[in-house]
A = this chain, B = another copy of it.
Amino acid sequence: MSAGTVYEALSVETLPERLKDVPALASKVGSDSAAWDVKEVGDGNLNLVFIVTGPEGKAIVKQALPYVRLVGDSWPLPLYRAYFEYHALTRQAARAPGAVPEIYHFDEAQALIVMEFLSPHVILRRKLIAGERVDGLAEFLGTYCARTAFRGSELSMASPDKKADVALFAGNVEIPAITEALVFTDPYYNAEMNHHTDELEPVISQLRSDIALKVKVQQALQRFVSNTETMVHGDLHSGSIMSTDTDSRVIDPEFAQYGPLGFDIGMMCANFLMAYFSQPAHRGNDLADYQEWILGVIADICATFEAEFRALWATERTGILYPAALFEDQGHDSTPACDAVLADLWRDAWTVCGIEMHRRCLSLAHNADFEEIEDIALRARLEARNLMMGADLIHKADTLADASAVCAIARDFNGKDVL
């Protein structure tokens, strides 16, 4: 059942011997470990990821590393994040059935999760760079975000269960600390690990001298660190989504914590907006069509989210917040209450969206959408549009009517050169 009680990183060579006695793995791939083919495919920053192929099937073995891979062993990270990933995956599976990979086995000492091999799924970010479409993507993501947000909150959960869960995830300290620094703070000053395209200097200088902007960003950080409204995925970008042409799943929730209801959908929309702004470097004749498809996905994600959230409000409002005793039972429509919750949620979401658009061009961890653009002048021009729209969203987060308004702003910046 165990691969040892002292942590040791797996390798392609040692994995079969060390995991051959894990029944949940053997039952998926076949019990003859000598026949297993093992490939290491991790392209993230924090983990080893192995595909184990045996005579009877395939499985994923994901193991946390004790340091940030991108930086090396100079940045140690606790292995206990696998424990939080495991707990997050079980909660996501319960709250949004079918949305995350199935878990076969968890080994806390080895910081190791054996889980479903998704095939032929690939990382969504690769598909967006390649100009591929995914049927049902917006419906899947909007539903996932609404269900995990609503069902992880005291709109739905019993308060003792929710408080126990907040206490559990409050132990996830170092991983959310990455978000606190790299997402919310580093982009807005000359932090040590930052890097950016040189040509962006004038835009960056404008952002970093905008005190009102920095205040709004830090207010969002205050809510991120202290507002335990629901369990958030915490890192829901297009590298945390895997898709075929018709099916999608959400992966990699090691940044999970209790946080604001609008956090995940805001960060996710930012990643679609960055895909949108980067397209002129990746597309030919189909540019306009594909960019409009991306904006359509954003609009549909948000519309699906609203519809699902309102449906859950009507049918699953079993927590202590906005109880039927105060509204429906008195003959009082609770729609104004739901409107108020959603207004705050979208304010948080669009603020986080703008911040994510900034940090992916200014802080440590950039994304391939822009990074793979070899023409530096073009990259800078596209990144600048993205940065300026991010600031616009942060300033207007309180007053945006809906996702269509956001898409209109994107079209506007897409046609305008700020450098």
Contacts and interface: CB of A to CB of B under 8 A. Distances in A.
Interface of A: 153-154, 159-160, 162-164, 166-168, 170-171, 173, 177, 180-181, 185, 188-189, 191, 208-209, 211-212, 214-215, 218-219, 221-222, 225-229, 258, 320-323, 325-327, 329-330, 332-333, 336-337, 340-341, 344
A176 B170 CA distance: 19
Given A164-B170, A177-B159, A337-B214, A225 B320 contact: yes
B167 A180 contact: no
B167 A170 contact: yes
A113 B167 CA distance: 25
A156 to B, nearest CB: 13
B170 A163 contact: yes
Q: Interface on chain A toward B: helix, strand, loop, or mixed SS?
A: helix
A321 B154 contact: no
Number of copies of this protein chain within its complex:
2
B170 A166 contact: yes
A329 B227 CA distance: 28
A211 B333 contact: yes
A322 B216 CA distance: 10
Contacts of A221: 320-321
Given A180-B159, A218-B326, A225-B321, A332 B167 contact: no
A211 B332 contact: yes
A352 to B, nearest CB: 16
Contacts of A211: 327, 332-333, 336
B225 A159 contact: yes
A226 to B, nearest CB: 5
Contact of A214 (B168, B185, B225, B327): B327
A229 B218 contact: no
Nearest to A219: B340
Nearest to A161: B173
B167 A340 contact: no
Contact of A173 (B163, B191, B209, B344): B163
Closest 6 interchain pairs by CB?
A167-B170, A167-B167, A163-B170, A226-B229, A215-B337, A218-B322
B336 A212 contact: yes
A173 B189 contact: no
Contact of A189 (B191, B229, B325): B325
Nearest to A215: B337
B171 A340 contact: no
Nearest to A223: B227
A190 to B, nearest CB: 9
A142 to B, nearest CB: 22
Contacts of A160: 173
Contacts of A214: 326-327, 332, 337
Contacts of A219: 340-341, 344
Contacts of A215: 322, 336-337, 340
